[in-house]
């Protein structure tokens, strides 16, 4: 695996305008140093503004963005990353991901991955990786540039969608995993099993769900607009779940996928 990806990051999905500026600034004040955005979120410029206002030295930050499906062709990818860098006010991102495989495989994975690797070598990104890649797409990406160049696969993982086949394949090939939607859009807060575990640990259900992902070695990128929640999420790293806790949460698997956009999502494993 490549250089370390901070285990606890700040997601910005669906946050816009002053809301995302305030969230990122609060997160950076609290100690977050990993910020995750994407071209399609429409908030790269606001994230860049928040980073600039924060005064946190660039060397301390880990910034991820994701290349949208319209920009996956070999002659488009690098230019789109340069546009992202302009919006973020950065010379380089720490991690550039392919957000989704090309819908209906219109652009071959190999073409996209070669373009992404070229962008890395041109200095646009320190690391590169993938997101929402199935086993088949991971196989194609590995075949194109090698597993050692793939810093992470960012996929939906939470107690109700544990994505075990993808996780197993990635681990077999030394590919790190980043869990998005780790709180299942709030569903973990109302689950009685997670609530009982939280009670035993003097923690919140959200903290337990994050601790479950962190113990498995995943990076997590929860988002929040509330400073108290941002602070509580950071504290999840201090919760030590028992093997019994982990087993109880593992039993919650229900194939409860949330992110499944029509016309974009691949055929899932």
Is 74 exposed, middle or buried (CB count within 10 Å of its CB: 0-12, 13-18, 19+)?
middle
Torsion angle, CA of 239/205/24/264, rounded to 10 degrees? 120
pLDDT in tens, the chain (269 residues): 345 899 999 999 999 999 999 999 999 999 999 999 999 999 999 999 999 999 999 999 999 999 999 999 999 999 999 999 999 999 999 999 999 999 999 999 999 999 999 999 999 999 999 999 999 999 999 999 999 999 999 999 999 999 999 999 999 999 999 999 999 999 999 999 999 999 999 999 999 999 999 999 999 999 999 999 999 999 999 999 999 999 999 999 999 999 999 999 999 99
Is 234 contained in some domain?
yes
Specify the DSSP class assigned to residue 199. Answer: H
Q: Give backbone dihedrals phi and psi of 260, rounded to 5 degrees, phi first.
A: -150, 60
Is 252 contained in some domain?
no
Concerning whether 185 is annotated as a catalytic residue, the answer is no
| Helices 205-215 + 227-234 axis angle, to 10 | 40
Is 115 contained in some domain?
yes
> Do the annotations mark residue 99 as ligand-binding?
yes
pLDDT of res. 2: 42
Is 261 contained in some domain?
no
Is 112 contained in some domain?
yes
Domain coverage including residue 135:
10-185+213-239
Is 206 contained in some domain?
no
Of the residues 32, 41, 180, 185, only one is catalytic, namely 41
Q: Distance (Å, rounded) from C-alpha 76 to C-alpha 11?
A: 26
pLDDT of res. 1: 37
Is 1 contained in some domain?
no
Number of separate domains in the chain: 1
Q: What is the CATH classification number for the domain harbouring 151?
A: 3.20.20.100
Do 175 and 1 touch, CB atoms closer than 8 A?
A: yes
Do 39 and 68 touch, CB atoms closer than 8 A?
A: yes
Q: Which residues contact 123 (CB under 8 A, 6 or more apart)?
A: 91, 92
Is 253 contained in some domain?
no
Beta strands 95-98 and 62-67, pairing class:
parallel
User: Bridge-partner residues for 98, per DSSP?
Assistant: 67, 130
pLDDT of res. 4: 85
**What are 134's two structure tokens?**
């199935």
Q: Distance (Å, rounded) from C-alpha 61 to C-alpha 31?
A: 10
**What are 56's two structure tokens?**
């946190």
């Amino acid at each position: 695996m490549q250089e370390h990806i901070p285990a606890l990051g700040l997601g910005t999905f669906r946050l816009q305008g002053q809301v995302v500026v305030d969230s990122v600034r609060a997160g950076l004040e609290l100690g977050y140093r990993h910020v995750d955005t994407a071209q399609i979120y429409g908030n790269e410029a606001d994230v860049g503004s928040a980073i600039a206002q924060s005064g946190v030295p660039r060397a301390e930050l880990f910034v991820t963005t994701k290349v949208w499906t319209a920009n996956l062709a070999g002659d488009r990818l690098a230019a789109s990353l340069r546009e992202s860098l302009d919006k973020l006010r950065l010379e380089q991102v720490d991690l550039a991901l392919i957000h989704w495989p090309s819908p209906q495989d219109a652009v071959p994975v190999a073409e996209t991955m070669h373009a992404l690797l070229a962008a890395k070598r041109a200095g646009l990104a320190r690391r590169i990786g993938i997101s929402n890649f199935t086993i088949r797409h991971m196989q194609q990406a590995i075949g194109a540039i090698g597993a050692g160049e793939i810093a992470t696969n960012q996929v939906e993982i939470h107690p109700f969608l544990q994505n075990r086949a993808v996780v197993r394949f990635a681990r077999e090939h030394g590919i790190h995993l980043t869990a998005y939607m780790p709180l299942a859009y709030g569903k973990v807060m109302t689950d009685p099993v997670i609530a009982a575990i939280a009670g035993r640990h003097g923690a919140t259900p959200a903290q337990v769900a994050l601790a479950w992902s962190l113990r498995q070695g995943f990076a997590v990128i929860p988002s929040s607009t509330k400073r108290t929640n941002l602070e509580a999420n950071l504290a999840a790293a201090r919760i030590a779940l028992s093997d019994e806790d982990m087993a109880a949460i593992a039993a919650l698997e229900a194939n409860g996928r949330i992110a499944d956009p029509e016309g974009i999502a691949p055929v899932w494993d």
